[in-house]
């Protein structure tokens, strides 16, 4: 049975894609090998034809440790009608975690060996990612491959800070400026890019998930402030670096899409006027400015008003999750149109089945009306994984939990759109904390 969600998203899309393509601007485009997706003005193209899609977020795919479960998941994604899958190409652990990682079968790509990151290209390491890429090829799916994580989960970027920079009072943004850390990040992503650069299953490389000046452990330093362009400078260096390794695949930033506005929105909260973090540049992103970078081929953004504005979202409040989302969609559409680049809502979600039913159609419709033509709900889930009942070990922060194919309250699948498990409840709390950390 197809999920109602995916069927209705596809139905909506079908009706409106044609219009989106009619607006395609003729700009210079890269000539790429057959089967590679590229950009043409505000649209994507595959083999000279417009390429529009509903996508799936499934960061946990390489954490599955049987080939059967990977293939089964890909099959479900394919059956849902989704064409693009976003997944993590990072998982770093400490040497001290190695015994439990080995015992639980945890996927890890890098381990810190007391003096450096060492790549694990064995069967519990990059060979798992190899299988995901080959399964995507087999199922005609394309992957957004993400190199790192702003958050602590799965060995995020703060592990680099802790090990390489190491100073007692380090701030989160050191990751974006310290030369030794940048060299280490580049060494790792070079390994990934060179491993898969011939594959047409790669849709795009993504520099980092949800970069911000601040993390969920370390705070922002005094040099990562509105107007400092710390992230833009880093995006520029890293996108140029990836382009130097791979002339063909697209590159995207991976950010949440915060704006740096000279006159940021404000709202009343508890008797005082609060400057809106999504618009005042404090996050570090400058969505419109970053889009000027020549090697960022397209834009993506995320959308979680329910968790971003919990202080405004209560019974009797005039704040509406749906309304806020519509405005966020319009704002990004305008910026992407100005930059003449394609745009993806790369993650969006609300908790609650009724909320999804009420809100998603209007968000997706508005996205299509404003020329997006590709949407990726957070996140895809499957039932019927065999290994440990689908209850795979994953690493969050410096602890290992169980729960791949996690339900974080925003999950849906082709079989069922909701599935609540204890480990996933836990995950939801972490995700919410991460998002609420400002
Ligand atoms: C750690 O890995 C690096 C790079 O592979 C290597 O040069 C070094 O000798 C290793 N150190 C230890 C303590 O294993
Ligand atoms: C792993 O590294 C992080 C960062 O240095 C540290 O906070 C954590 O305690 C380490 N965990 C283990 C199990 O060694
Ligand atoms: C870290 O910050 C504390 C408190 O400000 C200060 O006393 C200490 O000297 C700092 N340590 C380093 C290594 O800068
Ligand atoms: C909610 O109501 C207040 C008071 O009338 C108003 O200032 C504010 O703009 C409203 N907020 C929204 C999101 O409409
Ligand atoms: C639905 O959304 C409302 C408003 O954000 C929220 O209060 C409620 O908890 C959500 N329902 C579920 C089941 O998550």
For 197-218, the pLDDT digits (tens) are 999 999 999 999 999 999 989 9
CB of 361 closer than 8 Å to CB of 8: yes
Model confidence pLDDT, tens digit, residues 357-416: 999 999 999 999 998 889 999 988 887 777 765 666 666 555 666 666 666 777 765 432
> Is residue 116 lining ligand 1, measured as CB closer than 6 Å?
yes
Q: Is the CB of 310 under 6 A from ligand 5?
A: no
Report the alpha-carbon distance of residue 158 to residue 95 in Å, rounded: 16
Give the full edge-to-edge strand order of the sheet including 202-206: 250-252, 202-206, 142-146, 84-88, 53-57, 374-375, 343-348, 299-303
Residue 132 Cα to ligand 1 midpoint, Å, equals 28
67 is catalytic: no
The number of beta carbons lying within 10 Å of the beta carbon of residue 194 is 11
Condensed to tens digits (0 to 9), the pLDDT of residues 299-328 reads 999 999 999 999 999 888 889 999 999 999
Q: What is the mean pLDDT of the chain?
A: 86
Query: Is residue 350 scored above 80 in pLDDT?
Result: yes
CB-based contact 281:274 (threshold 8 Å): no
The model's pTM: 0.88
Average pLDDT over residues 270-295: 95
CA distance 20 to 8: 18
- pLDDT reported for residue 398: 57
Length of the chain equals 438
- Which residues lie across from 273 on neighbouring strands? 268
- Asked whether residue 4 carries a pLDDT value surpassing 80, the answer given is no
Q: How confident is the model at residue 419 (pLDDT cuts 50, 70, 90)?
A: very low
Q: State the distance from the centre of ligand 5 to the C-alpha of 352, rounded, in angstroms.
A: 6
- Give the distance from CA 177 to its chain's centroid: 22
> How many structural domains comprise the chain?
1
Categorize the per-residue pLDDT at 104 as very low, low, confident or very high, splitting at 50, 70 and 90: confident
Nearest CA to ligand 2 atom 8: 398
pLDDT grade, residue 431 (50/70/90)? Answer: very low
Domain of residue 406: give its range. Answer: 4-436
Tokens of residue 325, six digits: 């989302």
- Give the Å distance between the CA of 399 and the centre of ligand 1: 24
Catalytic residue among 97, 206, 210, 346: 210
Measured CA to CA, the distance from residue 87 to residue 344 in angstroms comes to 15
pLDDT at res. 388: 66
Of the listed 45, 256, 285, 347, which one is catalytic?
A: 347
Can you give the CATH number for the domain in which 379 is found? Answer: 3.20.20.80
- Which amino acids bring their CB within 6 angstroms of ligand 3? 167-169
Question: Active site includes 103?
Answer: no
Sign of the torsion angle spanned by Cα atoms 328, 336, 175, 274:
negative
């Amino acid at each position: 049975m197809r999920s109602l969600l995916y069927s209705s998203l596809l139905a909506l899309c079908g009706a409106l894609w044609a219009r989106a393509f009619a607006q395609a601007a003729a700009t210079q485009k890269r000539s790429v090998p057959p089967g590679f997706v590229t950009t043409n003005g505000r649209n994507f193209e595959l083999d000279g034809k417009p390429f529009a899609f509903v996508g799936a977020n499934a960061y946990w795919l390489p954490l599955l440790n049987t080939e059967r479960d990977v293939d089964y998941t890909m099959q479900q994604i394919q059956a849902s009608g989704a064409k693009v899958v976003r997944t993590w190409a990072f998982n770093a652990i400490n040497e001290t975690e190695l015994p439990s990682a080995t015992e639980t079968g945890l996927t890890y790509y890098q381990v810190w060996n007391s003096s450096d990151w060492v790549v694990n290209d064995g069967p519990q390491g990059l060979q798992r990612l190899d299988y995901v890429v080959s399964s995507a090829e087999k199922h005609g799916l394309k992957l957004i491959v993400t190199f790192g994580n702003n958050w602590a989960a799965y060995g995020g970027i703060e592990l680099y800070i802790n090990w390489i920079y190491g100073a007692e009072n380090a701030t989160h943004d050191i990751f974006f400026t310290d030369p030794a850390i940048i060299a280490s990040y580049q060494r790792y992503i070079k390994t990934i890019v060179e491993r898969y650069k011939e594959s047409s299953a790669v849709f795009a490389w993504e520099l980092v998930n949800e970069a911000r000046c601040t993390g969920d452990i370390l705070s922002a330093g005094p040099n990562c402030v509105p107007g400092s362009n710390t992230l833009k400078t880093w995006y520029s260096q890293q996108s140029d670096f990836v382009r130097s390794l791979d002339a063909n695949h697209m590159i995207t930033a991976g950010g949440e899409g915060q704006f740096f506005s000279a006159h940021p929105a404000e709202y009343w909260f508890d008797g005082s006027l609060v400057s809106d973090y999504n618009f005042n540049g404090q996050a570090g992103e400058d969505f419109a400015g970053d889009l000027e970078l020549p090697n960022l081929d397209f834009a993506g953004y995320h959308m979680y008003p329910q968790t971003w504005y919990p202080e405004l979202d209560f019974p009797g409040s005039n704040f509406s999750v749906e309304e806020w989302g519509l405005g966020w969609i319009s704002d990004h559409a305008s910026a992407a149109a100005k930059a003449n680049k394609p745009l993806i809502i790369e993650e969006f979600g609300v908790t609650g089945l009724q909320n999804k039913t009420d809100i998603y159609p209007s968000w997706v419709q508005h996205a299509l009306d404003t020329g997006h033509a590709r949407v990726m709900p957070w996140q895809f889930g499957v039932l019927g994984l065999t290994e440990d009942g689908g209850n795979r070990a994953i690493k969050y922060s410096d602890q290992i939990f169980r729960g791949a194919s996690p339900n974080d309250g925003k999950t849906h699948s082709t079989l069922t759109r909701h599935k609540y498990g204890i480990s996933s409840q836990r995950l939801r709390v972490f995700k919410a904390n991460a998002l609420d950390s400002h």
